[in-house]
Amino acid sequence: ERMGQPVVWRAINRDLMCLYRVSGVRRVKVRVLRTPPGVTLSYTVQMRRVREIRVGVGFQGIEDFSGANEYAFRLASIWPRLNAWNASWRTSILLGNLWGARTRLRVPLGAGSPWFIDLAGRYRSRPIPVYAHGAHIAEYRGNRDQAGADLGLDFGSFGRLRIGPRWGHEWAVVETGSPALPVYGDHYGLWQEVFHVDTLNRTWFPTRGLLLNLRSDWARRGLGGNVAYDRVSLRSLWAIGLSAHAGIWVRFDYGSALGTNLPFEDAFR
């Protein structure tokens, strides 16, 4: 029996990372190999300025052609300059069978300082398909809420480092399928480090540059949770230009629990 499709979600998260920066309208379809019977991803976003606030609407959908799908309308707002130090506030809401909300307040430690503090909170609810022998036999509803704070450092316009604690609650219940299937719930506290570099020359079909995302989570019971685990992940893309309109992409993804046991939802996220 296999729950979720981890190869699919890693690939989807990797491609969405390249798309979050778009300022116009983009539509992308991706077919992820080695995951029968295939996946189609469609993501569209449009941002407009309303006085000092940027507001956006969008749609994202995922279909695996075996009965499992995710879709949501995205509403977003960005307030880029709250004060003289250029503090910013970002909020987004998802409405669909994938739904939730996320908000983040960033406060630089002085005018022009590369150091900053982030305060963030989010809630998300998503379907988790359950497969047995290739058949879609059940579906869980996975839920997660989280709050945390980061100390961060910007490396010009191409890189960023974040370090900080997270606290949250994950739980999953059977939405479709046998009531005898187990339910799940955990509280967690962890330290998270994220190092992100993006030197791609454009978000759609880049022909030059590097995208690198290195993340580590260290969950400990001493931080208030009832689970303890470690996790590291690396997502990377190297674009080698052959001409102004042609290039070669070299991608490498890696993830490991370092011999520990990941919680239910994290194991397939």
pLDDT tens-digit series, residues 215-226? 999 999 999 999
Distance CA 267, CA 269 (A): 6
Q: Which residue's structure tokens are 């995922």?
A: 62
Angstrom CA distances, 28 to 55, 127, 196, 259, stand at 21, 22, 23, 36
Q: Identify which has the larger pLDDT, 204 or 135.
A: 135
Looking at residue 201, its amino acid is: N
Domain harbouring 129, CATH code: 2.40.160.50
Fill in the DSSP letter of residue 84: T
**Which residues on adjacent β-strands are paired with residue 195?**
161, 214
Distance CA 233, CA 235 (A): 7
Letter string b/e over residues 2-40, b meaning 16 or more CB atoms within 10 A of that residue's CB: ebbbeebbbbbebbebbbeebeeeeebebebeeeeeebe
pLDDT of the residue at 20? 41
Per-residue tokens: 234: 């690396």
Looking at residue 172, its amino acid is: A
pLDDT tens-digit series, residues 45-68? 555 666 678 888 887 777 666 556
pLDDT of the residue at 10? 40
Fill in the DSSP letter of residue 83: S
Fill in the DSSP letter of residue 96: E
pLDDT tens-digit series, residues 9-58? 444 444 444 444 433 333 444 444 334 344 445 554 555 666 678 888 88
Quote the number of domains for the chain: 1
pLDDT of the residue at 64? 61
Q: Which domain holds residue 65?
A: 2-268
Distance CA 26, CA 46 (A): 8
Looking at residue 194, its amino acid is: V
Per-residue tokens: 139: 């579906």
Count CB atoms within 10 A of the CB of residue 266. Answer: 18
pLDDT at 161 > cutoff 80: yes
DSSP states along 76-101 = EEEE--SSTT--EEEEEEEEESSEEE
Positive or negative torsion for Cα 131, 135, 139, 144: positive
Distance CA 252, CA 238 (A): 9
